[in-house]
């Protein structure tokens, strides 16, 4: 029931973004916070494949970041890939993270001084 409610909310957000003209209009950015870390995911040029994703982590003490994706509505999932550290708190991941347009859950695994945590960030990918 909880997953169904979350899926409904994500679809409503997708419709709202589309209605406001955000569908396929450049980079897409989304944020989420866990108990230990806050994560910002920026999908650069969402129509391009493989996908390039910028990941910003706060606090900036993160040592390693990996990312995988799931599209619960369709049953799609991708394997976890490592993000390259660009500078303190900023990482870049490139790979086959989505298989189609829609709402994806980006599972960002952060390991750093505060510990390890997976922060899930819902992102509308369209191109």
Average pLDDT over residues 75-96: 96
Least confident range of 18-22, 91-95, 102-106: 18-22
CB-based contacts of 37: which residues, under 8 Å, 6+ apart?
57, 58, 59, 62, 110, 112, 114, 117, 119
Note if the pTM is more than 0.95. no
120: number of Cβ within 10 Å: 14
Residue that is written with structure tokens 């347009």 in the block: 101
The DSSP output letter for 65 is: E
Which of 74, 73, 64, 77 has the alpha carbon at shortest distance from 118?
A: 64
Are the CB atoms for 112 and 91 separated by under 8 Å? no
pLDDT bracket for residue 2 (50, 70, 90) = low
Average pLDDT over residues 28-57: 93
Average pLDDT over residues 10-30: 55
The total of structural domains in the chain comes to: 1
CB-based contacts of 8: which residues, under 8 Å, 6+ apart?
none
Average pLDDT over residues 78-88: 97
Are the CB atoms for 59 and 111 separated by under 8 Å? no
Look up the CATH number of the domain holding residue 89. 2.60.40.10
Q: Which domain holds residue 9?
A: 2-125
């Amino acid at each position: 029931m909880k997953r169904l409610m979350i899926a409904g909310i994500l679809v409503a957000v997708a419709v709202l973004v589309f209605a406001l003209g955000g569908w396929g209009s450049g980079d897409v950015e989304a944020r989420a916070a866990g108990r230990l870390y806050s994560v910002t995911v920026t999908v650069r040029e969402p129509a391009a494949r493989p996908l390039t994703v910028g990941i910003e982590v706060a606090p900036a003490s993160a040592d390693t970041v990996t990312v995988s994706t799931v599209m619960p509505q369709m049953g799609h999932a991708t394997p976890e890939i490592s993000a390259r550290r660009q500078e303190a708190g900023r990482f870049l991941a490139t790979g086959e993270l989505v298989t189609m347009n829609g709402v994806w859950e980006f599972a960002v695994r952060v390991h750093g001084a505060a510990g390890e945590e997976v922060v899930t960030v819902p992102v509308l990918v369209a191109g």
